[in-house]
Amino acid sequence: MAYTNRASFAPVLEKTGASILDAYSAFSSATTQVGDVLLIQNLTDIPVMLSFYSDLSDNLPIAANGFFLLDLNKYVNEENTSLPKGTIISARRLNAGTPATTGSVWVTIMYSRAR
């Protein structure tokens, strides 16, 4: 059996702990592909809040040394659910005034090459 959908990975987005401030700041660039699986690893020693929208609303808190894994792939054919291409992900400290002393936040996006 030959499969037509192939999984690929977009370049990893990284935000160092030292660059996570009290106010939102974007990761280095917008997402380059439509995302089917999203893995966010907060490998800092502080909790962070993420925003996926330009209005910088609070969308997703992640605990220190925590992660978030979202598999939208099972819904792609049924509801066309995905992380849109061009999404700008931003991060801020969850506890204002408490800087990270170590680590980074990493965003890994898997997408289907069939799109």
CATH number for the domain spanning 34: value is 2.60.120
**Which CA distances in Å does 101 have to 24, 40, 54, 64, 109?**
18, 19, 28, 11, 26
In a domain, 1, yes or no: no
What pLDDT does 48 receive? 97
Domain hosting residue 88, numbered range: 10-112
pLDDT in tens, 6-15: 788 888 999 9
* pLDDT per residue as tens digits for the range 69-86: 988 876 555 566 788 888
- The H or E element containing residue 79 is helix 76-79
**Which single residue is written with the structure tokens 């192939």?**
6
In a domain, 71, yes or no: yes
Question: Is residue 4, in this structure, part of any structural domain at all?
Answer: no
| 3 inside domain | no
Q: What is the domain count for the chain? A: 1
